[in-house]
Chain A
Amino acid sequence: MSLAGGWYLTLGAAIFSIGAMGLLLRRNILVMFMCVELMLNAANLTFVTFARMLNDIGGQSLVFFVLVVAAAEVVVGLGIIVAIYRRRAAAPVGGDSGGGALRGSVDDLHSMEG
């Protein structure tokens, strides 16, 4: 029905490393969040592969729970992002250099201090 487990594990490894690199390279907070979701999907793929290789339904149950936790994490994380954006957009634009053009946007995580 399916190929040997190593193929799927390699695919999961590739997706995980692409997500990790994207998390480190991108600056837009939403894209970084999506890279975290990529890594979670790679972990899910690995769980299902091992569930098949070890003939254990526990691996699939764990994917179920990872899905639930990922959904809860996305909800809370996006709520935090919206709250930060609202607070920054409502802040008065001061005379600081370099940050003025980016106020009110969520690009450049670096500028989300304070």
Chain B
Amino acid sequence: MNLAAPLIGVTVPDAITFAGAAAMCLAGAFGVVLARNPVHNALFLVLTLFGVAVTFVEQDAQFLAAVQVIVYAGAIVVLFLFVIMLIGVDRAEVLARDPLRGQRPLAVVLGLMVLAEVLLLARSAWPVGQHSVAGPASGAGSNVAKLGRSVFTTYLLPFEVTSALLVIAVVGAVVLARRPPGAGHPEPPLEGGAEAHKVPEEVNR
């Protein structure tokens, strides 16, 4: 096996950028798995997302890098942090007993098997498909223009379906997060009076 083959045509700035991005991604990934405090897990996830965004920029997917930072790190992780703050940060996990006997060693073995299988598929010799099926990614024109043309012509139906999916997700989230009416806490009365100072008791649960 020619060990120098992957390094042909690599310039020093490319190598430094990739090394930095890979370090961020892997440090963030290990941090998500190993940190104890859920807020730290969320922050390590942000580190991974930024690392992945750097690799997107390196591979001429600038729009996706911006969308990744804005949507993933700026909205999804914020949503995670809201829920973490809402439902408790200060409890430690009960790690003494496993639901399945020997789950932990089996999990490590299976994870390593997944890594071995995917690494087997990750060698550069595998992408033998037809090039530029949906349009060229490199070449003249901006990345946003090419991506937009592809989404709005070739992939228009999935685009419309995802817009419907987003509406469904919003409606579903509102329904799920809504307190059911009459579930044991009274509605705060509109006028003040004797019942107005009972409301804080219900809120501090």
A11 with B25: in contact, given A17-B118, A28-B38, A61-B134 (CB under 8 Å)? yes
A76 with B127: in contact, given A15-B48, A65-B158 (CB under 8 Å)? no
Complex Cα distance, B93 from A47, in Å, reads 35
Q: A111 CB to closest chain B CB, in angstroms?
A: 8
Complex Cα distance, B86 from A104, in Å, reads 12
Question: Are A5 and B91 neighbours in the complex by a CB distance under 8 Å?
Answer: no
Q: State the majority secondary structure of interface residues on B.
A: helix
Question: Are B183 and A2 neighbours in the complex by a CB distance under 8 Å?
Answer: no
Interface size class of A (residues with CB under 8 A): 35 or more
Question: Are A56 and B122 neighbours in the complex by a CB distance under 8 Å?
Answer: no
Chain A residues in the interface with B (C-beta under 8 A): 1-22, 24-28, 30-31, 33-35, 37-38, 41, 44-45, 48-61, 63-65, 67-76, 78-83, 85-86, 89-90, 102, 104-108, 110
Task: Count chain B residues whose beta carbon lies closer than 8 angstroms to a beta carbon of A.
Answer: 100
A-B pairs under 8 A by CB, number: 287
Choose from A22, A38, A60, A110 the contact partner of B147 (Cβ within 8 Å).
A60
Chain B residues in the interface with A (C-beta under 8 A): 6, 8-10, 14-15, 18, 21-22, 25-26, 29-30, 32-33, 38, 41-42, 45, 48-49, 52, 55-56, 58-61, 63-64, 67-68, 71-72, 75-76, 79-80, 83-84, 86-88, 91-95, 99, 103-104, 106-108, 110-112, 114-115, 118-119, 121-124, 127, 129-138, 143, 146-147, 150-151, 154-155, 158-159, 162, 165-166, 168-170, 172-173, 175-177, 179, 183-184, 205
